[in-house]
Structure 1
Amino acid sequence: MSGLGELDRPETPGSPGAWDERSRRSLTDVGGDEGGTDESGSRGAGAAASSRDRQSPTRARRSNADPVKALMHRHRELCERAVDPLEIAAGLEAHGVTDRTAARFRHRDVFSLAEEMYARVPRDDDPAPRPADPPAPRVRAAWLVLALLPGVLCAAAVAGLRLTDGRPRLIAAAVGALAVTLALRAALRRGPLSAATRTTGTWTCWLVGYALLGDGLLRTALAGGPDALPDGTADGAWPLTAAPVVALALSCAPAAVCAHLFAARARRKLTSSRGLADFSASVRPLLLGTFALYMGVLTALLTLTGAVLDEPAAHPQALALGALLLLARLLTVHGHAHSATLVLTATAAAEGAALATLFAGRLPGCDFLAVPVEALVAVCGPAGVPAAACGIGALTLLLHASRRLTRASAHAHADAATERPG
């Protein structure tokens, strides 16, 4: 599992988290460096500024007289396309401007600096105001229906598997998997779970597939190979753990509702906050509350599906997987797809490596390869492998989200998700 330092690197040169080198130089030229400097550094910076002032006295006078105008010139595109001061504040924060930097432009915080920049942008016509009201009921109903489809179709597919046998069972499995995949893709292309960045779902499919088949495959590997199937599979049917998968599919709708609540309330706090630190402090409990709400709903769904399907609820590994998928999607929706993809890839690789080492341990002289997984299974059972892999991944993303999703730049376009036509 990669560390948080790897997660912090910018995803693309134009992403919200990327540091614009030109903006870094502009802040140094106009407002000074963000961090503190010692006396010698200050004298060096003053000498460099004096040299630039002698070379361009007109520019120096203009910057000293109106530093905000110089900052607006360097962020002209941001100011011109912004539809409200909040977008300018979020954009400035994404480029490294903090409340301390804003003080050097004679403003108490970034929000008041953004308000002046927005008010001073020349406009021929006032832009259409951003809708402050919630989406129309028809729009909200559309993405709610799409979010419900994966759970309904997954439950129908499992019922088809329970009621069929032989070739019809294979056909039902193939049709059900295709229908659930298409429904999930539609749910992720519209509504609060939609993202402008296109991401691959390969690793997500692997993780869900492991939740369905992984425990049976792990028991087979521990027993000695594919020929040593667990009890009750003498007819050739592979053991399936359907309850966690059905619960995860049904939780797609609660996840969409939680993502919508988080984005809407964070947007309101962005409007009412008067500083970046104030905003971060108010959004962090909101993020944790949203996460706890989803986990509570997922726990109830796991209990319900386990009772209906007469299967173990598989709470540890299913809860860890659900937390991992929710946090990965929230980060993707708010512009941090790189970190989500990185952790999902590492988690899937850990599960695959656990199975590979068990089979490789059957080779002569390679018994030591299977020792770590066998020890974990001996203590926690087959569920220990996915629970450990997904749990570590979810904890990593939770720590990362508590830093990234509490920044104003992550919510500059938070309300666009519910209005995106897909």
Structure 2
Amino acid sequence: MGGASSRHQQDATSNCSENATNSSNSSLFSSEELTKLKADYDTGGVEKVKTVVQQKVSELSYTYLNVAVTGQSGAGKSSFINAMRGLQFDDEGAAEVDCKEPTLELTGYKHPNLPNVCFWDLPGIGTVKFPANKYLKEMNFKRYDFFIVISAGRFTENDTKLAGEIKRLGKNFYFVRSKIDSDLYSKRKRGRQFNEEEELKKIRNDCVSKLQEAGIPSPKVFLISNFDLNLYDFSLLNKALEDGLPNIKKSAYIVALPNLNSGIVEKKRKELRKQVWMLATLSGGIGAVPVPGVSLGCDIGIVIGGIVHFRQCLGLNDSSLQSLAKRAGKPVEDLKAVVTTPLVGGEITPDVINRLAWGAAAVTISAIELALDTIPVIGSIFGAGSSFLMTYKLLSGALDDLTESAQKVVAAAFGTENDPNQTSVR
């Protein structure tokens, strides 16, 4: 028994050293914030660390992500906005599609589960109501984190003017060529033989060259289908958008993505994992409530709130499952049938949490094992009998269970062949 324990400790120490270098949690904190976190613990203990962590949790809760989507009428803006929010055109709160009149009003569409994330449908520049010289002021450009300029054909002179103004303001912008599936379908209907990859390359190069001629030196053009975001350049667009955002906003963007494939679900798990230790840090001994069947107490409100948030971000609430079933053309019962955790489909209570049967296993974890989960800077400062430990283990287990079910739901909806690394054509 002692030999096994010694080997475990040696392996844990080795892995801990490696994870200290590759901490995935640190992306929510700047290096200066991590240094302050360590200094606060050294001078004020856990209570002072709680203050810093609470500020970061509050920052996560009150960070807004505003995405501007613009382009000419008929380009597919509304369909894109709906797709990015995981909605179909006839879902409640969906942007109206196939509207014959051009967009004349600035309209915001909040994410159905994460109201701090909003997609804005901007009227096209250069219309009678919004001439180019008044457009920036009327649209309040400084509000948006980045801009997506959508076209169903060639980008117009007004599109390039808009890009120039966005660049002048120091904002990122991305050109999206929509309705690629319709273009390829039309070619097939005409009975012409063609190489799809070559055709996509031709469309992309034509867009790039026209934009360069209009004065955009290095335009980024992404080809997409609003009806199947797994195809063409969506994964490349998604990566570009992520890379162009600062840490907190990047996290908000990732967890707001629709569950299109297993890769997106795994990205969400990694982002949400960064929040687990912070929520556990806020769980103090005062007022800790024992979970039925477990001797240690925890802040049950933090645990339940965290699980509800994870469930929404992973698309496992009822409305998200309904929307995903409609998108996939499957009965929602088929998706719900593969869910294996009691954390989906009802109210989260202490009894539900106890049914996960972590029980005594939760109290045997060592401080070294805590460090293995890449808790930055303060990974092993909490005692194994703390409320922190119980909360941490419950939230970690819940996140793993929910992620497993989300992966199964995506596979049931789209099949296991949806590999985002293989569906992009470049």
Larger radius of gyration: 1
Structure ranking higher in strand proportion: 2
- The TM-score normalised by the length of structure 1 is 0.27
Report the structure, 1 or 2, having the larger helix content. 1
